[in-house]
Amino acid sequence: MTAGDHAGPRPGDSTRAVFEVLAGAGRATRPQLAAACGLSKPTVSLAVAELEAAGLAARAGTANGATGRSAAVYRLGPRAGCVLAVDLGSTHTEVRGCALDGAVLAVQGTDNELRPADAVHTVIDALRAAAAGPLRAVVVAVPDVAGQDADGLVRPATARIRGAVEALALPAGVPVGIENNVNCAALAELHEGAARDRDRAGFGYLQIGYGIGLGIVLGGQVLRGANGAAGEVARLPYPWAAAQQPRHEGLEAYAGARSLIARAAVAWRPDEGDGPVPHTAEQLFSLAARGHATAAALVAGHAAEVGRLAAAVVAVLDPGLIVLGGGIGANPQLLPGVRAELARLSWPTEVVSSVLGNSGTVLGATRLAVARGIQNVTGEETAGH
C-alpha cells in the first residue's frame, strides 16, 4: 500500500460525478449511474471507461433488468484506495481501515494493550495485505478542540494531544484531518444513529463519560464555531453561586465519571450492607440495575445533574432533540431522570439514548475520512460533513 498519490490528471467533471456516485453506492450499473448523476448514458459510458483505464472502477459482474436485458455492474477499482479512521480517545483507541465506498477492511482496538501507534500500523499492514490500494486520507478524532491554523490546516489545540497524534507515526504524504471526537460521534448519530431524520431540524449530541461535550448539528452540518470550540460545555461557568468562584472546566470535573465514582465512595456504607465500593461507572450502574438502593440513588442524582446540563443546552439552542451518548450518557438508566429534570426546567424537548454505543466516534471519523479520500481522488470538496 502506498501513500495517496496526486500524479496524473484529475478526472473531468462528469467522470468526477460518476466516481462520487459509485463510491456512495458501492456497486452500480451504467443506467443507475446515469440516473443518479443526471447525465446521459453516452456521457456515463465515457466516464466509466476513463475510470476503468485509471484503475478507479472495475467490472463486478452483471445484473438482469426487468426486461431480461443484462447490464454490467461496476465497483471501485484497485486504484481507488482506502482511508484510515482513528478514535484516539482518553482511555481507548480504535482504528478502522475502509475502502472509499465505506466497506470496513480492517479494525483494531487497544483493549489488548496495544499502543495506539501499534494499532494504527496493524491496520495499515492489514490494508497492505488486502491490496487495498493507495492510502488516500486519515482522520483522527481527538478529545480536544480542533481549530484551523493560519495555514488552514486543522490541528488539536493542546500540546499533549498534538504529541499523541504525532506519536501515531502516520505515513508521510497522506492528508491527515483532525476532528473533535464528540463532533465525530454527532455526525455518526446524524447518518447512522438516533438522529437519522434530523438533518434539517438539527439536534444536540450530549456526551457524558470520562469527560463531557456537546456536538451541535444544524442543517446537516456540525457547528464548529470561530475557534473550533462550539459545544465545549465543559467550559460553562461552574459553580456559579454566591461566594463561589467558577473553576476552569469545573463542570466537567463535577459531571464526569471520576466525580461520580468519588461521590459513590463518600455515600457508600460497606458496613451497613452496601458491599464493596464500586470503582467504575460500569460497576455502579450494574448495581443500580440490580436494585442496589445506594447505587440507584447515585444514578438518579447524576441523571438530574445531566438533566440540568441538558436544560442549559436547550436554553441556548432549542434543538428539539438531544441524543445522550458516552460511556455514562448512553446508559438507558439515565434517560428517565434526564427527561424529568429537563421537563421541569425547560420547554418540551425530545431526549433519546444513543444507539451506536462506543463506536459512534470512529463511525463519524470514518465518514469524514471517506469524504476526504474521495476529495483526494477527485480534487473537489465532497459531501459527508
Q: What is the pLDDT of residue 5?
A: 54
R_g of the chain computed on alpha carbons: 24
Amino acid at 227: N
Q: What is the pLDDT of residue 385?
A: 43
Do the beta carbons of residue 356 and residue 120 sit within 8 Å?
no
CA of residue 84 relative to chain centroid, distance = 13
The cell numbers describing 53, all together, are 483505464
The cell numbers describing 52, all together, are 476503468
**In the block, which residue shows the cell 444513529?**
193
Instruction: Please provide the average confidence, as pLDDT, over all residues in the chain.
Output: 90
pLDDT category at 382 given cuts 50, 70, 90 is very low
Q: What is the pLDDT of residue 95?
A: 97
Q: How far apart are CA 336 and CA 307, in angstroms?
A: 10
**Positive or negative: CA dihedral 32, 37, 38, 44:** negative
pLDDT, tens digit, 9 for 90 and up, residues 205-234: 999 998 899 999 998 899 988 888 999 999
Do the beta carbons of residue 175 and residue 376 sit within 8 Å?
yes
The yes-or-no verdict on residue 111 having pLDDT over 60 is yes
Q: What is the pLDDT of residue 151?
A: 53
SS3 state of residue 143: coil
- The DSSP code sequence of 33-101 is HHHHHT--HHHHHHHHHHHHHTTSEEEEEEEE-TTS-EEEEEEE-TTS-EEEEEEE-SS-EEEEEEETT
CA of residue 33 relative to chain centroid, distance = 29
pLDDT, tens digit, 9 for 90 and up, residues 123-176: 999 999 999 999 999 999 999 888 666 555 556 777 888 898 999 999 999 999
Q: What structural domains does the chain harbor? A: 13-76 (1.10.10.10), 82-185+361-378 (3.30.420.40), 196-355 (3.30.420.40)
Do the beta carbons of residue 256 and residue 234 sit within 8 Å?
no
The predicted model gives 184-193 an average pLDDT of 95
The yes-or-no verdict on residue 195 having pLDDT over 50 is yes
The pTM for the full model equals 0.89
pLDDT category at 89 given cuts 50, 70, 90 is confident
Q: Where are the alpha helices (DSSP H) in the chain?
A: 13-25, 30-37, 41-53, 116-129, 159-166, 181-192, 250-255, 257-267, 281-289, 293-317, 326-329, 335-345, 360-378
pLDDT, tens digit, 9 for 90 and up, residues 233-291: 999 999 988 888 999 999 999 999 999 999 999 999 999 999 999 999 999 999 999 99
SS3 state of residue 343: helix
**CB within 8 Å of 334: residues ≥ 6 apart:** 208, 299, 302, 303, 306, 324, 328, 353
Q: What is the pLDDT of residue 146?
A: 81
SS3 state of residue 11: coil
The yes-or-no verdict on residue 3 having pLDDT over 70 is no
Better pLDDT: 150 or 38: 38
pLDDT category at 384 given cuts 50, 70, 90 is very low
Q: How far apart are CA 361 and CA 278, in angstroms?
A: 27
Better pLDDT: 166 or 197: 166
